[in-house]
Amino acid sequence: MYLIRNSSSLIFLAQEIIGTGSGLGTFLLKVLEDEFPEVYRFVTSIYPSGEDDVITSPYNSMLAMKELNEHADCVLPIDNQSLFDIISKIDLMVNSGKLGTTVKPNSLVTSSSGTLKKRHKKPFDAMNNIVANLLLNLTSSARFEGSLNMDLNEISMNLVPFPQLHYLVSSLTPLYTLTDVNIPPRRLDQMFSDAFSKDHQLLQADPKHSLYLACALMVRGNVQISDLRRNIERLKPSLQFVSWNQEGWKTSLCSVPPVGHSHSLLALANNTCVKPTFMELKERFMRLYKKKAHLHHYLQVEGVEKSCFTEAVSSLSALIQEYDQLDTTKNMPVQDLPRLSIAM
């Protein structure tokens, strides 16, 4: 967990798992809200995959979601499966020798003996590096100079139109530097295209076929404002924004690139595509809760009652319903509002 102070506010960044061990992080969220109401609370939450080996994980996830709904300003949901898929693709690229890749002897994609792995069994170090790199890019404007720097509080103010809808899908490019793989840098325009592809998302979702409420592009390195504008205009026709926020873009330019690259891009999208993740979480929870399976382990803890679970389900159901209501407006035509006329 991290505390970052900038010129305008104190930013709280918590990396927590929506599952076993998530209680401490959500408890701290409540404490910070009570003690420091002006603090912006950004949370990166790792959602378990369907193959999670903790049988009570759906209970932990549901209880944590209620606290995130109520006490976080912005949540960047990440799922284990997406992280694992990214690492697997990098492994495949290295093992196949594509793009003239070379691997350092102590790289995360090599074994202790220096030979290439065919596949990570549990590549937790490499997966954690991806999340760490996300945080580095997210906070770059607070740490380095830039021609168009963005305070972290601007993310919440510009990307969260409604208090409950504060879940942002993150996409990161390039990814390969995280494993010390030497690959020729991507063209600048291709970097922007990559940021809107599923291969670079940290959550399994489909933003292009869902509804955007707002989107932020946080660029680092030798990039001009004109490059930003050109690529936004190029990408806009393929992205469907909500009718009342057609120009819902927020941009940031930090002059200092990540180590080993000339430029990088972090895209944050407030998009209704997060809804399936929440629906799956609720479905997994209900499969256990309908049978009251393993519930007694929680009810033995002081302060935990059945009402805690019913309230958590209601909170998540209300969140899903809000995304449903937005999705019904997806195909509505954009109306040009009449301009104000001044009576003379």
Is residue 175 in some structural domain? yes
Which single residue is written with the structure tokens 């139109």? 161
* CA dihedral (124, 90, 100, 194) positive or negative: negative
Given a contact cutoff of 8 angstroms between Cβ atoms, the answer to whether 62 and 313 are in contact is yes
158 DSSP 8-state letter: H
Q: Which of 258, 40, 15 is nearest to 137 (CA)?
A: 258
Helix (H) or strand (E) holding 14: strand 10-17
55 forms beta bridges with none
Tell me, yes or no, whether 165 and 295 share the same domain.
Answer: no
Question: Under 8 Å CB-to-CB from 4, ≥6 apart: which residues?
Answer: 10, 11, 13, 139, 142, 152
Tell me, yes or no, whether 147 and 36 share the same domain.
Answer: yes
Provide the CATH number for the domain around residue 313: 1.10.287
What pLDDT score was predicted for residue 324? Answer: 96
What pLDDT score was predicted for residue 152? Answer: 86
Host domain of residue 204: 2-278
Given a contact cutoff of 8 angstroms between Cβ atoms, the answer to whether 289 and 253 are in contact is no
Given a contact cutoff of 8 angstroms between Cβ atoms, the answer to whether 137 and 216 are in contact is no
Provide the CATH number for the domain around residue 18: 3.40.50.1440
Is residue 340 in some structural domain? no
How many domains, in total, are found in the chain? 2
Tell me, yes or no, whether 69 and 195 share the same domain.
Answer: yes
Phi-psi region of 21 (alpha: psi -120 to 50; beta: other; left: phi over 0): left
241 DSSP 8-state letter: B
Question: Under 8 Å CB-to-CB from 9, ≥6 apart: which residues?
Answer: 38, 39, 40, 151, 152, 153
Length of the chain: 344
Tell me, yes or no, whether 314 and 245 share the same domain.
Answer: no
How many C-beta neighbours within 10 Å does residue 216 have?
A: 22
Tell me, yes or no, whether 283 and 251 share the same domain.
Answer: no
* CA-to-CA dists, residue 174 to 120, 171, 200, angstroms: 20, 10, 8
> What are the backbone angles phi and psi of residue 114, rounded to the nearest 5°?
95, 0
Tell me, yes or no, whether 264 and 306 share the same domain.
Answer: no
What is the number of H-type helices and E-type strands within the chain? 11, 10
How many C-beta neighbours within 10 Å does residue 112 have?
A: 6
Tell me, yes or no, whether 144 and 12 share the same domain.
Answer: yes
14 forms beta bridges with 43
Mean pLDDT, the chain cut into blocks of 10 residues (344 residues total): 52 58 78 86 85 83 93 93 88 62 39 41 78 91 87 92 96 71 70 93 94 97 93 96 94 91 94 96 94 90 90 97 93 61 56
Is residue 152 in some structural domain? yes
Q: How far apart are CA 202 and CA 170, in angstroms?
A: 6
Tell me, yes or no, whether 128 and 247 share the same domain.
Answer: yes
Q: Which of 100, 192, 85, 92 is nearest to 130 (CA)?
A: 85
Is residue 344 in some structural domain? no
What residue type is assigned to position 200 of the chain? H
Tell me, yes or no, whether 207 and 100 share the same domain.
Answer: yes
Orientation of helix 306-327 relative to helix 57-71, angle to 10°: 70
